[in-house]
Structure 1
């Protein structure tokens, strides 16, 4: 039954399939369906013009889909490793590495606190009294690693 309807539509079946894939691309994340939809539209256009057999249509669809996906993967997708104008945006603790700060609370048993702007950060380092100057040497999650500042 379904095969008869698809055969009756001829090349329009590919056009409808391509449009359905493009519509699905609006809902599904990624860009794979976009390239499959374009390939189906091209096959639909070729089918309406030349009327090749269904085997040739499937082969052309497969080749175009693969070529489009590989081409997008190699040349079209955005480079995620591109240099950002705000490289520390989601790495708040890393932004403070190298800063010299004053302890708000003493470091006792390896842990203390320091105020940076309007935030209080937990610090780890050698035991030091409150008011001591420390330099941030690293970050582990939301905890800063410090050492005594070399004044």
Structure 2
């Protein structure tokens, strides 16, 4: 008769091998849990299959929760340039001159080589404005103080 711990080690190996072929980390946590359950089965061979099943379930949930917290911490990179590649957000607070009048709260304005939709109070062409917010590709502006 084959010792029970080999079943858990084989299951852990199979789950981690499948994890290598499937995107994400869905099978990693049960694979780790199966390995740990196999180690427990080796150290304490007298435990029944019921105990092994409960230990496997608890370890799977615990490793998934801990792994999710670890990944959440690793996925939030700290940058010295948080607005890099966020061109619209870089424009907030900048001052520009309206190319055309804002009528009914809408208009267009060219900044550099890009034409932006603009929303704000009705203003004549040539008015100096400050970008206060961005919504998609629409800049929200207000009249700049002289």
TM-score (norm 2): 0.78
After the TM superposition, which of the residue ranges 57-66 and 77-86 deviates more from structure 2? 77-86
Matches within 5 A, 1:1-151: 10-26=4-20, 27-29=22-24, 31-51=25-45, 52-74=47-69, 76-79=70-73, 83-89=78-84, 91-151=86-146
Unmatched tracts of structure 1, length 5 or more: 1-6
- Which 4+ residue blocks in structure 1 deviate beyond 6 angstroms? none
**Aligned mates of 2:88, 2:34 — CA distance in 1:** 48
How big is the shift at 1:90?
6.2
**Aligned mates of 2:101, 2:17 — CA distance in 1:** 60
Cα root mean square deviation, aligned: 2.6
**Aligned mates of 1:46, 1:92 — CA distance in 2:** 54
**Aligned mates of 2:14, 2:99 — CA distance in 1:** 61
TM-score (norm 1): 0.76
**Aligned mates of 2:111, 2:17 — CA distance in 1:** 49
Unmatched tracts of structure 2, length 5 or more: none
Structure 1 residues 132, 57: closer, same or farther in 2, change over 3 A? same
Number of equivalenced pairs: 143
